[in-house]
Amino acid sequence: MQTTTAKRVQSVRPVGTRAVLAELDSLQDVLALQDMLYKSPLPGQVDVLAAAETVMVVGESAAATRAIGLRLLELELTPLIASDSGLVVIDTVYDGDDLADVAELTGLSVEGVVAAHTGQIWTVAFAGFAPGFGYMVGENEALAVPRRSSPRTAVPAGSVALGGQYSAVYPRRSPGGWQLIGRTGAQMWDLDRSQPALVRPGDRVQYRAVREVVTAKAPSSGDAPAREPEKEHHVEAGLRILNPGTQSLIQDLGRRGYGPLGVSAAGALDRASLRRANRLVGNESSAAAIESVNGGLTVEAVGDQVIAVTGAPTTLTIESPSWSESDAGSDDGAIQPGAKRTAPMAAPFALLDGEVLTLGAPESGFRNYMAIRGGADVPEVLGSRSADTMSGIGPAPLVIRQLLPVGNATASTAVANPELQPDFPGAGVTVLDVIPGPRADWFDQEALDSLCGQEWLVTPQSNRVGMRLDGTPLKRTRGGELPSEGTMAGALQIPPAGLPVLFLADHPITGGYPVIGVVRDEHLDLAAQVPIGGKIRFRIVPDSPGFTTTFTKTPEK
C-alpha cells in the first residue's frame, strides 16, 4: 500500500522576539496553514499574515512566540477544502490602459484575456499593500504577467489589475506597478460595513464583464444604529486646538488583529510615554491622547481640565486669561492676556477654563504625549482611536480651532504622583538593539559588521511609517527580489539601494525587501524619540531568555 508523507512547514525563522515566519513549499500550503490558524489559533497567537510563500504569526509575548514557532514545525498541513459560501462577484469594465500589453505578454487576444479573467474562480490568498487590497490567485496561470517596469505614481481607485500570478482591485487611489486591465465600482473597503473589506483571505471571487461601472455604496450594518455626527455646541468640555504644531495626532495603543485585512496596528510610537501620561491623570492605559512632534502644540481648556505631558522634555507654558479693571463694565467682554506660568513634565496639573498651554521645542527627544483626564473622545475605528497615516484610517490630524471633546476613560478617582522619565535621545548617538533575521542570510558578515559599525543619520523623509536612514549602503549577496512577506514594526528592511528603512507603527503589513534584522520591541519607544538629523547605531544582541534564533526539524548539515 502506498503511503503519503504528511505535508509540514519547511522551516520557521524568528522575526525579532514577537513573531515567527513559517516557510512553505507552495501557495496552496500557505493557504492551508492560514486556514488552520484561523480556525484553531495557537496559544498566544495575536495575528496571522500570509504571503506568497510564507505565513508570519505574531505572538503576545516572546515566550508565546517561541512556543508558536516550535508548534508550527509539528503541524501536519490539512489540504484546504473549497468553501461552500457564495461567490463575491465583481462587475468589471475591461478597458484598462494595459489590456493590450497583457494580451501581447500572454499570447492571447484582448477578448481572450477577458475570457480568461472572467472564466475562472479566484481565491483571496492574503491581503497587503493597503486595506481592502486582496491578492487573488486563479485556478490557472494563463494570466501571469510581470509588473510594469515603471510603476505609476497614481492608480485610480477601483482599477482591476494583474501582477505576477495575482489579480487585485485597488481600493483607493495610490501608486502601483501592476498591469491595469479594467475598472469596477465595487467598494473594496468601506468602514460603514460590519466587515469593511469586501473580500477577505480565503474568499472566492469571480469577475463579471459589464459595459459600464455602477458605484453603489453598501448600506451600513444593521447591528447598531448609525453614529450621530458630532456637533461642536454639544461639547461641554475638552481642548480647543489653537496650533497643532508640525503634526499632532490622536493615538492610543493601536488596533490589533486586523493584519489579514491589510491594516497595521498604528498607535503611539512611544508606548511607554503614552501609558505614563494616562497613568498620571488617572486614565485607562489605552485612553486616547495627543501625540505631537517637535513642539509647537498649543491648546486652550474648555472647562477645567487635568492634563499631563510626557515624552521629550520641554517647557510647558500656561497663559491665564484675566479681566482688566477697565474692561469690567465694558460690553465687549474682551479677555486680556494674563500671567504666565510653567507646568512640570510627567506630572498632573490643572488647566482651567480659558487657560492656554503651549509646548516648547524639545530639549532632547522628538515626541510628546498630552493626556487629558477622561481621554480624547473621538470615534473608534476598528476598535481603536489611533490615526494610521499610511491607510488613512482613524481621526485626521488635528487642525486649528478644532474642539477635541473629553471622554470618560478614567481608571481611578485620583491622579497619580509625578514620575521620573527615562533619558531621551539628544545630540549623541542612540544605540538600538537588533536581533538578526529573518533574511540576514541575504547579507554576508561584512554587511552585518557595516550595519553595526557605523552611525546612521535619520533623514527628513522619515515619518510614522518608517525611519529612512543614510550612511554607507549595505550590499546583498543575492540577486533578484524577495517575494512579499509579512513584516512588523522594528523591521530593518534593505531596499536595493542598500540604505535601511526602520519600520514604525504605521508600516505596510507586507514587504518585498529583505529584513536584515529587527529592533527589539523594548527599544521601539526609544527609536520613536530619535529626532530628524539624529544618529543611530545598531547593536546585535543575544536572544532574549527562552528564545532561540533558529527553529529546525533536523540538525543543520
Domain boundaries of the chain, sorted by first residue: 11-74, 94-209, 237-326+333-405, 429-540
Q: What per-residue confidence (pLDDT) applies to 217?
A: 53
Task: Give residue 222's pLDDT.
Answer: 36
As a whole number of angstroms, the distance between CA 196 and CA 149 comes to: 32
Return the pLDDT at 543. 59
Highest mean pLDDT among 25-39, 232-246, 250-264, 366-380: 366-380
Average pLDDT, the chain: 89
Region 151-175: mean pLDDT is 92
Q: Do 125 and 194 meet the contact criterion of CB atoms below 8 Å apart?
A: no
Beta bridge partners of 127: 134
- Report residue 4's pLDDT band, with 50, 70 and 90 as the boundaries: low
**What was the pLDDT predicted at 227?**
38
Helix (H) or strand (E) holding 181: strand 179-183
β-pairing, 238-243 with 349-351?
unpaired
Average pLDDT of 290-314? 97
Digit-coded pLDDT (tens) for 320-333: 986 544 444 444 44
Q: Return the pLDDT at 239.
A: 98
Nearest to 263 by CA among 352, 184, 196, 177: 196
Name the range with the highest mean pLDDT among 2-6, 77-81, 176-180, 310-314.
310-314
Q: Is the pLDDT of residue 230 over 90?
A: no
Q: Please answer whether residues 160 and 181 qualify as being in contact, where contact means their C-beta atoms are separated by less than 8 angstroms.
A: yes
Q: Which CATH class is domain 429-540?
A: mainly beta
Give per-residue pLDDT as tens, 376-417: 999 999 999 999 998 889 999 999 999 999 999 999 999 999
| Domain 429-540 in the same topology as domain 11-74 | no
Residue 191: CA count within 13 A, CB half-sphere: 15
| pLDDT of 284 strictly over 90 | yes
Give the residue ranges of DSSP H helices in 204-317: 271-280
Is 8 in contact with 73 (CB distance < 8 Å)? yes
| Alpha-carbon gap, residue 448 to 494, rounded angstroms | 12
State the Cα–Cα distance between residues 153 and 354, nearest whole angstrom: 46
Q: Determine the pLDDT at residue 234.
A: 56
More confident residue, 277 or 222: 277
Residue 319, pLDDT above cutoff 70: yes
Strand partners, 250: 290
* CA–CA dist 351, 14 (Å, integer): 47
Ranges 78-92, 99-113, 454-468: which has the least confidence: 78-92
Q: Which residues pair with 538 in a beta bridge?
A: 432
How far, in Å, are 2, 21, 117, 264, 311 from residue 112 at the CA level?
Answer: 42, 39, 8, 38, 60
Evaluate if residue 160 carries a pLDDT over 60: yes
CATH number assigned to the domain with residue range 11-74, chosen from the 4 options 3.30.1360.40, 2.130.10.10, 1.10.357.10, 3.40.640.10: 3.30.1360.40
Q: Please tell me the predicted confidence (pLDDT) of residue 174.
A: 87
10-28 per-position pLDDT tens digit:
999 999 999 999 999 988 8
> Cα angle vertex 256, ends 493, 238, to 5°?
110
Q: What is the mean pLDDT of residues 103-131?
A: 93
Whether the per-residue pLDDT at 79 is higher than 90: the answer is no
Q: Is the bond preceding residue 531 a cis peptide, omega within 30 degrees? A: no
Q: Is 448 a residue whose pLDDT tops 70?
A: yes
Instruction: Measure the CA–CA gap between 145 and 136, rounded to whole angstroms.
Output: 14
Task: Report residue 208 as a C-alpha cell.
Answer: 463579471
Distant-in-sequence contacts of 165-169, Cβ < 8 A, 24+ apart: 165/27, 165/137, 165/138, 165/141, 166/125, 166/135, 166/136, 166/137, 167/117, 167/122, 167/136, 167/138, 167/143, 167/207, 168/133, 168/134, 168/135, 168/136, 169/90, 169/132, 169/133, 169/134
Residue 223 is predicted with a pLDDT of 37
d(CA 447, CA 40): 40
Is residue 532 within 8 Å of residue 462, measured between CB atoms? yes
User: Does residue 224 have a pLDDT over 70?
Assistant: no
Q: What is the pLDDT of residues 431-441, one digit of tens each?
A: 999 999 999 99
- Nearest CA to 258 out of 357, 381, 437 is that of 381
List the single range of 302-306, 324-328, 347-351 with lowest mean pLDDT: 324-328
CATH class of 94-209: mainly beta
C-alpha pair distances (Å), 309 with each of 202, 276, 278, 300, 371: 45, 9, 9, 15, 6
Give the model's pLDDT for residue 555.
40
Q: Determine which of 49-53, 359-363, 369-373 has the lowest per-residue pLDDT on average.
A: 49-53
Q: How many percent of the chain have pLDDT more than 90?
A: 72
CA-based radius of gyration for the chain:
26
Question: Cell 518608517 appears where?
Answer: 466
For 84, 203, 205, 469, the CA distances from 137, given in Å and listed in that order, are 18, 11, 10, 35
